[in-house]
Structure 1
Amino acid sequence: MQHEAHASHAHHHETAATSSWAMAVRATLHCLTGCAIGEVLGMVIGTALGWGTVSTLILAIVLAFFFGYALTLRGVLKAGVGLRAALKVALAADTLSIAVMELVDNGVIVLWPGAMDAELTDPLFWWVLAIALAVAFVLTTPVNKWMIGRGKGHAVVHRHHG
């Protein structure tokens, strides 16, 4: 009986610790890294090729998801998880986080006057992209904290480490 109470108490501390703001920030920084790589690459390619707003945004979003999932896959595969299981972990861990980040990030870029018309040599292109990623980080962190606190998101990834 005493052991069960101790195990329950330990589980409570584990859940509280794993849903901390620090863990949410780390999960969001991880997401931001993949999103930023894909987002910047997509915006640079689309802008350099003279593509329109919609085509450029679609490329940036697809690449953000690709690189976001790829970073998680890399870590989970390194932990010895098979590819099929690792794909499920990456999808479970990152889909909502990347979706929120991309919605916010691209929303800022589209709504910022002149941002989608800025060329690669225009400081506006780079400033708005940096601001958009920063705003996306701030607004996605609480989403990740909420998911981790419920055993979802990056909490799924942490079950496969260690």
Structure 2
Amino acid sequence: MTYHRHGPTHTTPSGWSSVSWSTAAQATLHCLTGCAIGEVLGMVIGTALGLHDVATIALAVALAFVFGYALTMRGVLRAGIGFRAALKVALAADTVSIAVMEIIDNTIMVVVPGAMDAGLASVLFWAALAFSLLVAFLLTTPLNRWMISRGRGHAVVHAYHH
């Protein structure tokens, strides 16, 4: 058994690491934090400016990736790694997780009747957005567990944690 900052991992007979659900949830929550900042900001800006749904979603997705990568890079840069190397780590650690979260949460925002057209003062807008992020977290956690167990996704960041 080895111990990483996010919890213990066990090597299985096949050679793959078995990752705890807690470790996967922590990695997903880390990814979701940046994703949610960008998603909420993009939805708020797009809604406030009256942008078309497609433009609002594109802005939210772009900002989700920017903030998601930035949060990961912040920790890696703190470990003394250069910007280009930190960017590569962030891309490897977060791309799949953020992409899946964005597909899930934006799909929910589109299918909830009236959510994309509701104003910023609407309970419907905020409830749909909160629900979409919760579902994205719940559905992405097993994916992150699987990726981390194979040394991919958030596992690549572990080498830079102190």
Deviations 1:58-117 (A, max 9, x none): 000000000000000000000111111111100000000000000000010001111111
**Residue number in structure 2 paired with 1:6:** none
Distance in 2, Cα, partners of 1:140 & 1:21: 12
**Residue number in structure 2 paired with 1:146:** 146
**Residue number in structure 1 paired with 2:95:** 95
Distance in 2, Cα, partners of 1:66 & 1:15: 33
Amino acid at match of 2:154: H
Distance in 1, Cα, partners of 2:40 & 2:86: 26
Gaps in structure 2 of 5+ consecutive residues: 12-16
Amino acid at match of 1:133: L
TM-score of the superposed pair, with normalisation by structure 1: 0.90
Is contact 1:15-1:149 (8 Å) kept? no
Is contact 1:38-1:66 (8 Å) kept? yes
Structure 2 residue 34 is the aligned partner of structure 1 residue 34: yes
Deviation at 1:29, TM superposition (A): 0.4
Instruction: From the superposition, tell whether residues 93 and 45 of structure 1 become closer, same or farther in structure 2 (CA, over 3 Å).
Output: same
Judging by fraction of residues, say which structure has more helix. 1
Gaps in structure 1 of 5+ consecutive residues: 1-8
Structure 2 residue 50 is the aligned partner of structure 1 residue 50: yes
Taking only aligned residues, the RMSD between alpha carbons, in angstroms, comes to 1.7
SS in 1 for 2:151: coil
Instruction: From the superposition, tell whether residues 156 and 137 of structure 1 become closer, same or farther in structure 2 (CA, over 3 Å).
Output: same
**Residue number in structure 1 paired with 2:109:** 109
Is contact 2:9-2:20 (8 Å) kept? no
Amino acid at match of 2:74: R
Structure 2 residue 70 is the aligned partner of structure 1 residue 65: no
Instruction: From the superposition, tell whether residues 10 and 21 of structure 1 become closer, same or farther in structure 2 (CA, over 3 Å).
Output: closer
**Residue number in structure 1 paired with 2:14:** none
**Residue number in structure 1 paired with 2:83:** 83
Number of paired residues? 153
Structure 2 residue 137 is the aligned partner of structure 1 residue 133: no
Distance in 1, Cα, partners of 2:111 & 2:155: 33
